[in-house]
Amino acid sequence: MDDWFDSFVGPTFMYATGNAQHLYISDPDLVKEISLCKSLDLGKPLYLIEEHGPLLGLGVTRSNGNIWAHQRKIIAPEFFMDKVKGMVGIMVESALPVTRSWENPVDQSEGGVADIRVDEDLRNFTADVISKACFGSSYSKGKEIFKLLRALQECLFRTSLLIRIPALRCGLLLKALKVPYGYLPTKNHRETWRLEKEIQKLILKLVMERKEESARTCEKDLLQMILDGAYADQLGKETATRFVVDNCKNIYVAGHETLAAVVTWTLMLLASHPEWQSRSRSRARKELSMVIQEALRLYPPTSLAFEEMKFGNLYIPKGINLWIPISILHRIPEIWGADANEFKPERFAHGIFGACKHPQAYIPFGIGPRNCLGHKFALIGYRASMWVESPCKEGMIDDYLYVYLCTCLRSIQKMISCKGRDEEMEVIIVEMFWSLALLAFGSFFVYLYSILLLKPKRLREKLRRQGITGPPPSFLYGNLPEMRKIQSSVTKAPNDHEAEILEHDYTSTLFPYFEQWRKEYGSVYTYSTGNRQHLYVNNPDLVKEMNLCLSLDLGKPTYVTKTLAPILGNGIVRSNGQDWARQRKIVAPEFFMDKVKGMVGLMLESALPMLETWEKRIEGEGGIADMRIDEDLRSLSADVISRACFGSCYSKGKQIFSKLRALQKTISTKGFLFGFPNFRLVPTKKNREIWRLEREIESLILEEVKKREEECMGTTTTTTTTTTSSEKDLLELILEGAANDQLGTGSSKRLIVDNCKNIYFAGHEATATAATWCLMILASYPEWQARLRAEVLHVCGDRLPDADALRKMKTVTMVIQETLRLYPPAAFVSREVFEDTKIGDVVVPKGICLWTLIPALHRDSNLWGPDANKFKPERFANGISEACKLPQAYLPFGLGPRVCLGRNFAMVQLKIIISLLVSKFTFSLSPKYRHSPAYLMLVEPAHGVHLLIKSI
């Protein structure tokens, strides 16, 4: 601390021991303000209270708050000056045997000089005084208690109590296991427990004797007052016993050890200064007081004072430990003069106020409400012992004694430090190991308890207060068992496929639990999957607010993003916050309508080969072919996205699409969205397959990227013409965006790969699925085929459609919009709340995942009318605003800032595909077709779509 004092140039600085934060204070004004503070918010450090537990418990010297105030009220009167004056006779009576025991060896020694070790004799003297004055007995009766307390004191201080790493004490966890004081059972700790039990047993024996005696006498000493205080408060037996034992230990330890230490140091000082021996021997009261005060200045019994709180104009955060170094404070030259380190009792000739510039800097017994209760008792005992010793023969306290005292004191310290060095190192190493192990286990246990029980309960409670309820969750599993049970009952029920096609209502089959809970709890309710808390929101007004929210505090659920990371990474579809905003800025321009209109030729170029293939097959099968169309449409859509966004054709990227499809099927297992975490890091067969596909896809994408970079380099060297942004495809824009952001190599590669996967997957799967459902519906409604065919013939004639023709195809648009209403590729709008967010009148807590079931919203009869489950494209005759009561409830591409970037691209592509096919073919459902919508990241036909196709 001296080094830090000099290094940090000031009396106030911070330091830390382990995780405990400390504030060193030696500024006299701050010391005064701290010490005189009467607030109960200022107390003894809790970690030291625990460390001192075996020795002092929660007695008056270590307790805080109202417990301390109550104990002080009981004990303080015993040490009032009037009471202490009556103890002088007892003190003298105890001191005389000590001086007599010294006289004998002095008389018998050669030359009248004896080599005596005084510290143990003085400790016995003070112990006898405490025993007689406070407990109505003699030292002989309490000898065993003092001996055990001394051994316990050495045990506790064996490993640097004040600055040690918290001793593998793992507090609450070990206490919950009923381990004493939270310690581990090391050798030193086992010895501590043994001594503590023996001391308690002896004190309780003394208490029982006192109870028996109290019936025969009316006199009250401190022990009787402690007993009266414990039982007057009507404490429980165990608490009362703890109260009595702890305060008895406090008096035994603090009462005799402090006085013995001060007398020992004073004798050592007098041995070094014979002139003050003579002046003290004169029995001048003032001279003796000056010696005592100076000894207390140089060797205060307490080396440090420690408290915690906020005070004055210095704000001290809760949990900071304040340390006032008394021994250093008593030696500051600026306060005590240049001779601060010298023994000069004369500085106290005019009292404390004349001894130093700041009297509040003299605190051998503390100051203020927490000053030592027994300081008057100690001073009287001190004077009594010194007075009794003064009649001894001249030279009894001389340089020989001084040398021996110093040797004794050093040997005590050496005995404790050197003798126990090996044991201490062993203890520290063992303690550190077990501390870390138990700390890790305890932290993990608390973490699990928090995330599995406390946090979910707290989130549900916040919603419940707002009137939002839901199915009661089970521990650990949440509502998963109920979800599986409901799903199982629906799966076993017989299906009427024809009725399902006519009604187009698959929500009760794919997501029956949502429908059942909606009927029970309304359009807004909460449910749980494991420890995750979800809020189902299908109230149109809340859905509108949720989707139009511009705050980045709403984003895609992170746990879903992690699950889908192999196929989508952290690209534009799944990213959040600034990452999403930056990626959107790069990708969005590629899908503006002006850019999409220029892609119509590419889309036609990709579609025509498929039409030729179908015509050949129909011709080969006699004019009508039974075909599965979903794979062909997926290949067509993949070719369009390859040409439009990546400057290649489907054949070049075929492997990428094939592996993405395999990866989609592998990830989309039962319960991937709402089940337990699928242990992504565990090398199961499924996870190894996912990792293999992910690596292969990334490798293929990076090959394409490398080819494009080489092409760009070649183009740059052969021409100086600058390519405008409108002439660049999406891959080139992504590469430039990654380069311009000055990302590291790893981050840049991740940005490119993730966004390419996003475009490859979302760009072709969603469009292909929508086109598949549209053709299935048209096969079920021949009249709408005819209307579409007539419109295409009217608008295009014998020509292929162009951008202007597509804009005029109103009926085609109506059919596509109605298909997207009944079979939106995305089943959910999902958001996670990253900060508490108000949506409508509902304050949604941080950590909640919001889910809107799009197919259910698209079938709400309150919005779409009683025919909401019917295929009726005419409802869109006057646009979306006239099709339903709340246009924002139509969400095939989402809504607001997170709306699908490729919606214009998808609509144009769908118009081209449908217009070309209805102009060339007629469709009807094949007997092989089985209506089975399935949720595989998108809502798609589980067994594909089989149609009977005939050329016109």
Greater confidence, 375 or 798?
798
Q: Which helix (H) or strand (E) element contains residue 323?
A: strand 321-325
Determine the 3-state secondary structure of 386 from DSSP. helix
Greater confidence, 273 or 406?
273
Q: For 570-588, what is each residue's pLDDT tens digit?
A: 999 999 988 898 889 888 8
Residue 21: band (very low, low, confident or very high) from pLDDT cuts 50, 70, 90: confident
- Distance, CA of 6 to CA of 328 (rounded, Å): 12
Q: For 854-884, what is each residue's pLDDT tens digit?
A: 999 999 999 999 999 999 999 999 999 999 9
Residue 77 φ then ψ, to 5°? -55, -25
| pLDDT number for residue 343 | 87
Say whether pLDDT at 821 is over 90: yes
Q: Find which of 8-22, 61-75, 346-360, 495-509 is predicted with most confidence, using mean pLDDT.
A: 346-360
Determine the 3-state secondary structure of 14 from DSSP. strand
Greater confidence, 407 or 200?
200
Domain 1-388: CATH superfamily is Cytochrome P450 (1.10.630.10)
| pLDDT number for residue 248 | 80
Residue 28 sits at the vertex; the CA angle it makes with 25 and 30, to the nearest 5 degrees, is 60
Cβ atoms within 10 Å, residue 76: 12
Greater confidence, 125 or 472?
472
Say whether pLDDT at 68 is over 70: yes
Greater confidence, 414 or 914?
914
| pLDDT number for residue 276 | 85
Longest dimension (CA), the chain: 140
Burial class (CB in 10 A: 0-12, 13-18, 19+), 413: exposed
Q: For 603-654, what is each residue's pLDDT tens digit?
A: 999 999 999 999 999 999 989 999 999 999 999 999 898 888 887 766 667 7
Tokens of 225: 């007052």
| pLDDT number for residue 651 | 67
Residue 939 φ then ψ, to 5°? -85, 105
Residue % of the chain over a pLDDT of 90: 32
| pLDDT number for residue 410 | 37
Which residues is 831 bridged to in the sheet? 850
| pLDDT number for residue 81 | 78
| pLDDT number for residue 132 | 75
Distance of alpha carbon 673 from the chain centroid: 25
| pLDDT number for residue 402 | 34
Cβ atoms within 10 Å, residue 920: 17
| pLDDT number for residue 724 | 53
| pLDDT number for residue 610 | 95
Residue 608 one-letter amino acid: L
Residue % of the chain over a pLDDT of 70: 79
Say whether pLDDT at 168 is over 50: no
Say whether pLDDT at 804 is over 60: yes
- In contact, 627 and 949? CB cutoff 8 Å: yes
| pLDDT number for residue 204 | 84
- Distance, CA of 667 to CA of 934 (rounded, Å): 14
What's the order of all strands across the beta sheet hosting 524-529? Answer: 524-529, 532-537, 849-853, 828-833, 554-555
| pLDDT number for residue 820 | 96
Residue 778: band (very low, low, confident or very high) from pLDDT cuts 50, 70, 90: very high
Q: For 500-550, what is each residue's pLDDT tens digit?
A: 555 667 888 899 999 999 999 999 999 999 889 999 999 999 999 999 998
Pair type for strands 946-951 and 554-555: unpaired
Greater confidence, 945 or 213?
945
- In contact, 51 and 156? CB cutoff 8 Å: yes
Nearest to 530 by CA among 469, 467, 594, 452: 452
- Distance, CA of 653 to CA of 674 (rounded, Å): 32
Residue 660 one-letter amino acid: L
Greater confidence, 471 or 493?
471
Q: What does the mean pLDDT of the chain come to?
A: 79
Q: For 77-89, what is each residue's pLDDT tens digit?
A: 777 777 777 777 7
Residue 247 one-letter amino acid: N
Nearest to 507 by CA among 31, 808, 42, 935: 935
| pLDDT number for residue 59 | 79
Where are the strands (E) in 848-942, listed by range? 849-853, 921-925, 933-935, 939-941
Give domain limits for the chain.
1-388
37 known member of a binding site: no
- Distance, CA of 576 to CA of 567 (rounded, Å): 17
Mean pLDDT of 440-450: 81
Mean pLDDT of 782-801: 94
Angle between helices 285-298 and 274-281 (to 10 degrees): 140
Say whether pLDDT at 382 is over 70: no
Cβ atoms within 10 Å, residue 837: 20
Question: What's the start-to-end Cα distance of the chain, in Å?
Answer: 98
Nearest to 817 by CA among 939, 809, 804: 809
Say whether pLDDT at 178 is over 50: no
Greater confidence, 694 or 18?
694
Say whether pLDDT at 844 is over 70: yes
| pLDDT number for residue 172 | 40
- Distance, CA of 115 to CA of 130 (rounded, Å): 27
Say whether pLDDT at 697 is over 70: yes
